[in-house]
Chains A and B, each alone.
Chain A
């Protein structure tokens, strides 16, 4: 029995890898507003209040039965001892009764422990389900600026890691805390009923135990955070070298990279072994304290039993109790840490939930059912950051079927117009009107169904090629999908794939080429059949010959549709009805090709510099 708790803890450590008690030692993050976060998290548990009360009752019952059992076992031992020494013999009927009672206690203890975990599993998992659902719902209401200002990893980590921490804390630590508290109190009470003197002796070990574990925990946290830091550095280095693998090889940097790796690896080793060693000390130290208690009880108790002041069974019970109560104390320390980090995680989750949402659609919104595609941009003012305006006073009038080209060097802010047209961002002043209706007066769904978009970063999801094309229109028939693929000249390559339209694209869609991905996104846009097209350098990654075909398809598609084209290629914009020239995040000129050339401004410069380069007769 005396190894029970210890082994249970070791079991948990094995199961959780770095989790379990290690986690308690390793992490030391705190929520900024622990109380507020706690209160809010409690709100999520409120619907399960009844079940939580049940969990509490079950935990108390289970722990209580657990606490009673050594005392009862002691009764049997006492009878054996006294019975065998006195001439009367052992009363086996009595022992039988005691053992039956004991079996009952053990079984009830197990049943209630099971019941408590069982109920808690439902509560914990449903709570985190609800949290995840709320985050997702929130994410779909957040403005694009939220996504643009954060890495994906950051958002992902909140939905998975942080929610996971909350989940396992709810599942285990909360009930552990209840059990530990009941066990400590109950054990001390039981010990007091047996022998106040021996209890006092055992309790003397307590301050020493908590002081020692505190010391060890403090040190090991320091080393663990050092280990975490170097592990992070090492991760970063490996990631960098592997993504730059080609360069490392081409420039013969293997040695250099390995040297850097060795340096970080050595640092990692020097903190890692200390972290492992120091945290590994808790067990033997607690063991020693336990054993001291055990020995003192054995010796002192032995004398007491001999003098007849204590029953032998009580001595046995004392030994078991003294083993029992130190364990929850060490446990509580690490649970407290775990709960703290769970609160910190919850706080990060709540941060997401508190982000400002996109303004809702107007209640009396108008709906354009048959859009023609006239776009009028009037006096638009917009900037991503305070004081840095992209558009000061943008005015554009585009009639149905016309093409607007946006040109300029990289990073000139050409996608800003797309962001505004699609209402990914809202204008700060002025208005954008489609067919005379301010786009802010339209429901977003309606507005976005008017636009078709082919972006430079081809986004496809893990699924079949058919599903990816049908993303443009859910109710599309097989024939329509194939027609769209044909129009985008994707049909031919799709049919050369082993599974054709059923080919499953993998996560990065790396099983087809960049150009092929582009073709699929074009097919997707074609299938959606929008009134206004937005082409963001759409064809720059498609091979030149296919591009001609695509351009033909596009031209057909663009007929009768208003189009906004972002392009590097000057030849593609020459036929545009309007050219917007952007530089350093602002529109510097606008007009037709001829007008802009005559102006001899930035555009003319841009155009002739390319021209001059290609005219250069001789290379060095």
Chain B
């Protein structure tokens, strides 16, 4: 709770104001039955019509004051709740942005999205609910007790008996109800899961003739959900009327015992009527408070999920200012992996073991190897999405852990395996690489990336909109835009992580030719599966199960590296190899 409270700090003044307003509203509400009792006991009984009228006007004023307070409370609580929600949402999102891939993987994208949106909304609702109702209920309850006692101390003793009974009923209900509600949610999730699998796997299901099996699976989940839902709803059907009956019977008891007091002359009828109203007020407030406690676990779940994000420190931090080194951009960039070993958290075996190689500007170094050989991990380490376990990665002679992340990443143009684009125009997406790039730079980058043709064929050229996730573009087009985005940056280091796989052979070839002409003064790192993509690199690093199996040119490796030879023979024919 601590972290979340910290973000609430600026809202304390308005929150206190709301509570004050609610307090005044409660007073006005509590005052009305007393005034009514006075009308009965001092007006009607005595026959003082003037008093009745005066009391009426007074009641109107009190009610008006109550409403004014309620409106003001509603205004300030809305401002407080949504304002807090806004700040909290920002804090969560900003924290997530600062996460390295390690923290990011731990939570998962879907979960992080829910935490930023739904969970914050939940908390926001809770804050508003708490300000308006949770503050009101105890105030009304305490106030009602005081007022009831002031009417008749003797009769008020029945409150001592009623409150625990009602509280016990509510608690019992929560004990049974909460797990059942949880069960419903789980069963609903299960139904969703089955259905989603049916949608994504429709071709496989039909191909394997498993329609009926899947229908049975769905029906089982459906039936299970229905049974629980019927049970829960029937239980709830008993809850509300039962509670109401309990409260109403309490009123009956109050009239009976109160009647005795009236007969004794110790209580006036108007006071008994007021007492009844206070009694109702107490019991309803109690029910509201208990409801809050029932609701609390749900909101608390959201609170905890947000807390988990806010309390997670990014695993990769910039070096302290005095230790940070900012190397003067070297004439010729230089990237060196020195005995790098890395293991994903929780993994048994390291994904990279003792990897060393060196590449400098003007050179193309290709990384090749099977799935799980550690190719993408190697790239992630260079970008410092993760930190190495041992060994070091040096850029222009400086360990990247000594560089501010911004400085490091400014040097790199990264093209990921899956071309990720953002919604916005084509030009916006390319400018993502360099925010202040001029039109000519953008155009040039697109041209080199072999994207110019299809961009110009789009209805509005560079201003054409890219839909979220780039769904209106083909895989190859997305990849070319992602490449243009890296090119416009004119970085010292290029990383192509299997970036040519979505391209057809022709475009692939043209693109690599254009790249060679355009980029002559940078380090180029290409991760690839296709031999044809890497065979003309100056240096090929062959990874096998996380270890370097060989480093050399295509020709050298063919002779010296059996792993490489195997890869080559599986992909190329005799005449292509030479």
Contacts and interface: CB of A to CB of B under 8 A. Distances in A.
Secondary structure of the B contact surface, majority rule: helix
A546 interface: yes
B4 interface: no
Interface in A551-570: 551, 569-570
A445 B74 CA distance: 63
Given A80-B272, A84-B263, A614-B535, A110 B97 contact: no
Given A89-B263, A125-B226, A241 B432 contact: no
A544 B543 CA distance: 12
A449 to B, nearest CB: 6
Interface string B505-528: 111111011011111100000000
Contacts of B519: 620
A443 B188 CA distance: 34
Interface stretch (A8-16, A28-36, A341-349): A8-16
A299 B55 CA distance: 8
B392 to A, nearest CB: 20
Contacts of A384: none
A451 interface: yes
Interface centre among B218, B288, B422, B532 (most CB of A within 10 A): B422
A121 B233 contact: yes
Which of B206, B364, B566 lies at the interface centre, i.e. has the most chain A CB atoms within 10 A of its CB? B206
Contacts of B421: 244
B529 interface: yes
A299 B39 contact: yes
A544 B128 contact: no
A109 B269 contact: no
A246 B420 contact: yes
16 contacts: A18-B125, A80-B255, A84-B269, A102-B252, A113-B237, A121-B237, A125-B233, A234-B117, A245-B109, A250-B414, A258-B97, A266-B86, A276-B81, A574-B573, A617-B536, A620-B515
Contacts of B55: 298-299
B284 interface: yes
Given A277-B74, A574-B573, A616-B536, 11 more contacts: A77-B255, A246-B101, A254-B98, A266-B86, A283-B74, A291-B66, A294-B59, A298-B59, A515-B371, A541-B371, A613-B508
B82 A410 contact: no
A136 B222 contact: yes
B230 A410 contact: no
Given A136-B218, A243-B420, A543-B372, A422 B206 contact: yes
Contacts of A152: 196, 199-200
B104 A81 contact: no
Given A140-B211, A609-B506, A617-B536, A299 B53 contact: yes
A513 B370 CA distance: 12
B65 to A, nearest CB: 11
A292 interface: yes
Contacts of B81: 273, 276
Interface stretch (B5-13, B44-52, B325-333, B393-401): B44-52
Interface stretch (A91-99, A326-334, A480-488): A91-99
A80 B259 contact: yes
A452 B203 CA distance: 11
A243 B109 contact: yes
Contacts of A67: none
A198 to B, nearest CB: 14
Contacts of A594: none
Given A125-B226, A250-B383, A14 B291 contact: yes
Interface in A35-71: 62, 69
Interface stretch (A375-383, A387-395, A455-463): A455-463
A126 B229 CA distance: 10
Contacts of A571: 570-573, 576
A103 B247 CA distance: 11
Contacts of A109: 241, 244-245, 248
Contacts of A245: 99, 101, 104, 109
Given A238-B117, A240-B468, A617-B536, A114 B238 contact: yes
B3 interface: no
Contact of A543 (B209, B262, B373, B515): B373
B295 interface: yes
Contact of B117 (A235, A241, A570): A235
A121 to B, nearest CB: 3
Given A125-B229, A295-B56, A541-B371, A77 B538 contact: no
A213 interface: no
B294 to A, nearest CB: 8
Interface stretch (B147-155, B156-164, B405-413, B438-446): B405-413
B195 A136 contact: yes
Contacts of B94: 258
Nearest to B90: A265
B193 interface: yes
Contacts of A422: 203, 206-207
Nearest to B92: A238
A239 B113 CA distance: 6
Interface stretch (B274-282, B335-343, B352-360, B456-464): B274-282
B210 to A, nearest CB: 7
A2 interface: yes
CB-based closest 5 A-B pairs? A543-B370, A117-B237, A620-B516, A299-B56, A409-B504
Interface stretch (A183-191, A301-309, A362-370, A397-405): A301-309
Interface residues of A, number: 173
A419 to B, nearest CB: 9
Contacts, number: 485
A211 interface: no
B447 interface: no
B132 interface: yes
A295 B109 CA distance: 57
Contact of A128 (B104, B197, B226, B263): B226
B318 interface: no
A309 to B, nearest CB: 12
A231 B86 contact: no
A24 interface: no
B36 interface: yes
A77 B222 CA distance: 54
Given A156-B195, A306-B44, A569-B571, A121 B383 contact: no
A612 B122 contact: no
A136 B215 CA distance: 7
B74 A284 contact: yes
Nearest to B269: A81
Nearest to A85: B45
Interface in A261-289: 261-262, 265-266, 268-269, 272-274, 276-277, 280-281, 283-285, 287-288
B310 interface: no
B437 interface: no
Nearest to A234: B117
A182 interface: no
A143 B273 CA distance: 69
A85 B265 CA distance: 10
Contacts of A276: 74, 77-78, 81-82, 128
A464 interface: no
B425 interface: no
A447 to B, nearest CB: 9
Given A128-B226, A238-B117, A252 B406 contact: yes
Contact of B32 (A243, A254, A294): A294
Contacts of B369: 543-544
A612 B508 CA distance: 11
A545 B531 CA distance: 13
A147 B203 CA distance: 10
B252 A103 contact: yes
B207 A303 contact: no
B67 A249 contact: no
Contact of B204 (A84, A299, A411, A459): A459
Contacts of A171: 233
Contacts of B211: 140
Contacts of A4: 244, 247, 280, 284
